[in-house]
Structure 1
Amino acid sequence: MRDRKRTFKHLTKNDRLRIERWLRRGLKPREIADRLRVHISTVYRELGRGQYERLNGATWEMETAYSPDIAEAKYQAHLREKGPELKIGKDHELARYIEETILEKDCSPAAVLGYALIQGRKFRTSVSVATIYSYIKKGVFLHITQEELPRHGKKKQGYKKVKTKKDQARASAGESIENRPEEVVERKVFGHWEMDTVYSRKSTTTKALLVLTERKTRQEIIVLIPNRKAETIVKALDALERKFGAVNFRKIFRSITVDNGSEFAAAEELERSAVNKTIPRTKVYFCHPYSSWERGSNENVNGMIRRKHPKGTDFSKVSAAEIARTEAWVNSYPRKILGYMSSEIMFRQCLRELGIAA
């Protein structure tokens, strides 16, 4: 999606006449969307709404064309059928806000209400998350369908990460998750993280993402790494330690929980400070084999990352700048579990409480 800001308006009869004129000039849907300053999906739906078959007088063959009159008639019929009987029918400001937020911010109906809450937006009509989903499914909105929703509006499926026998044996290389302090489990104390990798191929020699999730605030750190080798993961933590400073790193990263993948096999090196090798910088705990749910925060955010970088993504073709934008999007996303505050706001607040400049 382009960064250019678009106005989410319902197309007028004049807009439809302009679309017809531009199509005759050979403009593509993307160019029309840019000129109207609307989302491209709006143009595609409009073209479908005004589509009809006609005879080409030059070739004497049937062809598909667009009629602004047909599109306008269907639009007015849509308003008569959907508008008056629905709560949102007379609150066009709310309808536009829902459409704009879902399309521009790539978020769910729950997050839409979260954005409205933290922004202090007031509307004439109040709707629930379930109601928004219902409206989208029924086709009430002109600019959004289930295709624009996360997972296309389907419920989240369970995730299972397959481990080999070699992975199972590796659990003894580090401290078991069973020995984590209660404060880690309860998520009441800041500074306890989960760490995982996101990748597309089985090989450990291809580019991947190193993902760290702070358990209390759900703050994300996403790093593009050249491979998933154990020494690469250690170097990535070394870089983070230098970025935050050794003293601050120990305050921010009190513990890190990982699975038993080979990329996390160097437990001692992960724990040892790169600045002062005589002291530990963090404590690493290992999950039980076949237990990805023990890193629930990681798994949940990995699903968000996949919305921007679907399975099969070749990370060698993804830039660090793109990953930075994904990280910013995740951390600015309003979380229901945080009272619709974003992870970024919560994280900065915790840093200030530790006396660390946010």
Structure 2
Amino acid sequence: MNQHKFTNITRKKKEKHLKFEDRIKIENLEKAKRLLPKKKQMTRKEMAEIIGCGVSSLYRELSRGKVILKDSEWKDYVSYSAVVAQEDYDRQATNKGPEIKLQDDYKFVNHVEAKILKDKWSPDAIIMDLEKNGNPFETEISTRTLYYYIENEFFLNVTITDLPRRGELKKRKKRNVQPRQKVPFGKDITHRPEEVDSRMKFGHWEMDTVESGKKTGTACLLTLIERKYRLTLIFKLRAQTQKEVKRVLDSLEKELGTDDFSQTFKTITVDNGSEFLNSEALEKSIEESDDPRTNIYYCHPYASYERGSNEQMHTLIRRFIPKGSAISKYTKGRVYEIQNWINNYPRRILKSHTSMQLLIREYIPNIQQIFQECA
């Protein structure tokens, strides 16, 4: 489900919810108004400014508390009663099914708030998890309804700004560039095996780097995501260089063994960054074999969508490491925690499963060694 659909609603400025004290003020102002000559009577706009509400809200409130009274001459006149208006307000509030239901189910409210604030889950992930693993709460709602509750501030501690995208859709600035159709080096993506595009077999990866903010150091992250199960691997690099990238791949091959490495990393798709410049060096096995340990394929320039899984995974990393951060400040242990969080995060594209659940279900030889290497 496209999360943008619910988190990017244009919010109108909310009008004030009147309290009983406000209704008492309205009643007193109405009484005072009746005692004054018509030319000196307060306008509805002036009264609304005193109460601190909109003029339309004031008119609705006067209608809510409308009563017929009798004057000293026993003639009927229209007035306003704060008690009558409050009773009508309370009666209508009890008929608000979704809001009252949510307020009564404190365990569900606490669960949602903890998942969003502490575990950094999206509302969709929360609902998927409850649907898949069983819902122990009285409240049963859809993803769309949960977004609606958050958007309209039915939760005490969670607002739209606490969600991963914070209720905003940042539009990319248009760049006037002339796309180059030819990859400047190595094999381009059009030469990849068809099974890579189908995502039917394990072992095809996308690789990229996440940079530190400007003037915050050279440290960066090397990220890999497996296309079928969206398994994520994250490594901390001292610098954004090919030497550092090769060091990680060499270490993985040494840990897994050349044969298992080749079965686990059949292909790797990268962009045209300088850290991936020499495909032959990255493909070359530490065993000095003539056969490459993997096959590197390059996306077309300015075509990040050709590594869509990689780009999406980076948005998950940014929940913990915001843009502009100094990656040198994040320990390897912390990076490993972020990796584990991503691999255990329910994904709609995985039919509510996590990457780790799917890997456990379809055993991949020596996969545990990869995670040990990351730690």
Confirm or deny a common fold (TM above 0.5). Answer: yes
Does residue 254 of structure 2 align to residue 235 of structure 1? no
Does residue 206 of structure 2 align to residue 187 of structure 1? no
Kindly state the Cα deviation for residue 142 of structure 1 after the two structures are TM-superposed: 1.0
Q: Distance in 1 between matches of 2:338 and 2:112?
A: 22
Q: Which residue pairs with 1:62 in the alignment? A: none
Kindly state the Cα deviation for residue 356 of structure 1 after the two structures are TM-superposed: 4.0
Does residue 301 of structure 2 align to residue 294 of structure 1? no
Q: Which residue pairs with 1:152 in the alignment? A: 166
C-alpha contact (below 8 Å) 1:161/1:292 kept by paired residues: no
Name whichever of 267-276 and 221-230 sits farther off: 267-276
Q: Distance in 2 between matches of 1:318 and 1:346?
A: 29
Does residue 230 of structure 2 align to residue 218 of structure 1? yes
Please give the secondary structure, in 1, of the residue aligned with 2:319: helix
Amino acid corresponding to residue 304 of structure 1 in structure 2:
L
C-alpha contact (below 8 Å) 2:105/2:139 kept by paired residues: yes
Q: Distance in 2 between matches of 1:275 and 1:349?
A: 32
Q: TM-score, normalised by structure 1?
A: 0.70
Amino acid corresponding to residue 120 of structure 1 in structure 2:
G
Name whichever of 206-215 and 317-326 sits farther off: 317-326
Kindly state the Cα deviation for residue 266 of structure 1 after the two structures are TM-superposed: 1.5
Name whichever of 217-226 and 168-177 sits farther off: 168-177
Please give the secondary structure, in 2, of the residue aligned with 1:235: helix
Amino acid corresponding to residue 350 of structure 2 in structure 1:
L
Kindly state the Cα deviation for residue 171 of structure 1 after the two structures are TM-superposed: 2.5
C-alpha contact (below 8 Å) 2:216/2:326 kept by paired residues: no
Please give the secondary structure, in 1, of the residue aligned with 2:209: strand
Q: Which residue pairs with 1:132 in the alignment? A: 146
Percent identical among aligned pairs is 38
In structure 2, the gaps of 5 or more residues are: 1-88, 369-375
Instruction: Kindly report which structure 2 residues correspond to 1:194-209, keeping only aligned pairs within 5 A, or say none.
Output: 194-201=206-213, 206-209=218-221
Kindly state the Cα deviation for residue 120 of structure 1 after the two structures are TM-superposed: 2.2
C-alpha contact (below 8 Å) 1:204/1:227 kept by paired residues: no
Name whichever of 228-237 and 86-95 sits farther off: 86-95
Structure 1, residues 224-269: CA drift from partner, whole Å, max 9, x if none?
Answer: 0001111211111111112222221111101000001111001001
Q: Distance in 2 between matches of 1:282 and 1:274?
A: 12
Amino acid corresponding to residue 275 of structure 1 in structure 2:
E
Amino acid corresponding to residue 106 of structure 2 in structure 1:
H
Please give the secondary structure, in 2, of the residue aligned with 1:101: helix
Kindly state the Cα deviation for residue 125 of structure 1 after the two structures are TM-superposed: 2.9
Kindly state the Cα deviation for residue 163 of structure 1 after the two structures are TM-superposed: 9.1
Structure 1, residues 297-344: CA drift from partner, whole Å, max 9, x if none?
Answer: 000001111111001111122211111111111111100110111112
Please give the secondary structure, in 2, of the residue aligned with 1:151: coil
Structure 1, residues 188-245: CA drift from partner, whole Å, max 9, x if none?
Answer: 1110000000002469981100000000101110000001111211111111112222
Change (3 A) 1:357 1:199: closer
Change (3 A) 1:172 1:201: same
Change (3 A) 1:183 1:89: same
Say what the alpha-carbon RMSD is for the aligned residues. 3.0
In structure 1, the gaps of 5 or more residues are: 1-76
Please give the secondary structure, in 1, of the residue aligned with 2:285: coil
Instruction: Kindly report which structure 2 residues correspond to 1:1-358, keeping only aligned pairs within 5 A, or say none.
Output: 81=93, 84-86=96-98, 87-155=101-169, 157=171, 171-201=183-213, 206-350=218-362, 352=363, 354-356=364-366, 358=368
Change (3 A) 1:109 1:355: same
C-alpha contact (below 8 Å) 2:213/2:323 kept by paired residues: no
Amino acid corresponding to residue 282 of structure 2 in structure 1:
L
Change (3 A) 1:200 1:141: same
Q: Which residue pairs with 1:69 in the alignment? A: none
C-alpha contact (below 8 Å) 1:84/1:90 kept by paired residues: no
Structure 1, residues 72-108: CA drift from partner, whole Å, max 9, x if none?
Answer: xxxxx99x95894315344333222212221221110
Change (3 A) 1:329 1:150: same
Structure 1, residues 269-315: CA drift from partner, whole Å, max 9, x if none?
Answer: 11111134332111110000000000000000011111110011111
